[in-house]
Structure 1
Amino acid sequence: MNKYTFVTIFREGVHIHQAEGTDITEAMVNWAKIPDKKIKFIGHESQKEIELAIEEEHPTPINGVDNVWFFMVRTRAGLLMVNVIQTI
């Protein structure tokens, strides 16, 4: 298992969490399922939206940087912009 760090920009804050996975896709699914991200304005409904949207999301590798990706998820609460770094 690899560890990935998720740096999420949402509304007025930057939120950092970690999740594990065998690859970036599995880590994204695991990140989406973290029940207590404590992101202001993300309630139960938005959490479910994130979990559903993440299954369709394909992260974009950042050119010139190894093991770094970007993706976005739109919810009723707003747009989450997420940078992911393979940490270990």
Structure 2
Amino acid sequence: MTDHLFTFICEFEGGTYASQVQALNAHHALMEWGKSLRHSRPMGDRAEIIADAAFDEDEPPTPLDGLDNVWCWTTEIDGRLLLANIVRTLGRSNVHP
């Protein structure tokens, strides 16, 4: 099975963070996103805590009603809500002019 490109749009502590990972499905994408946070650390020291939460998640992200290939994942970090929207995205090679 082929990996898909997933775009994460994350809202946390007043900041908006966007990144992309490749994975088989949205649940695996969440774990790949956690790995990428450990390296890129866009949220500073909190990135490690967020990555841990992504790895500890047993349930897959929640599909959004009425939309195809869009999920939501939330967690609480030190009493603050983190909201991540996950979109399976066409890669550049799949976009036709």
TM-score normalised by the chain length of structure 1 = 0.81
Larger radius of gyration: 2
Alpha carbons of 1:48 and 1:71: their partners in 2 closer, same or farther (altered >3 Å)? closer
Counterparts in 2 of 1:9-88, with a 5 A limit? 9-34=11-36, 35-40=39-44, 42-44=46-48, 46-53=49-56, 55-76=57-78, 78-88=80-90
Change (3 A) 1:43 1:23: closer
What TM-score, normalized by structure 2, do the two folds share?
Answer: 0.75
Kindly report the root-mean-square deviation, in angstroms, between the aligned alpha carbons of the 2 structures: 2.0
What is the percent sequence identity of the aligned residues? 26
Q: Distance in 2 between matches of 1:67 and 1:61?
A: 8
Q: 1:39 to 1:66 in 2, by over 3 A?
A: same
Report if the CA contact (8 A) 1:69-1:83 is conserved.
Answer: yes
**Number of aligned positions between the proteins:** 86
Deviation of the 1:73 alpha carbon: 1.9
* Change in 2 beyond 3 A, CA 1:62/1:30: same
C-alpha spacing 1:61/1:51, structure 2 compared with 1 (3 Å): closer
1:40: Cα distance to partner?
4.5
Deviant stretches of 4+, over 3 Å: none
Higher helix proportion, which one? 2
Q: Give the match for residue 94 of structure 2.
A: none
Closer/same/farther in 2, CA of residues 47 and 63 from structure 1, 3 Å limit: closer
Three-state SS of the structure 2 residue aligned to 1:33 is: helix
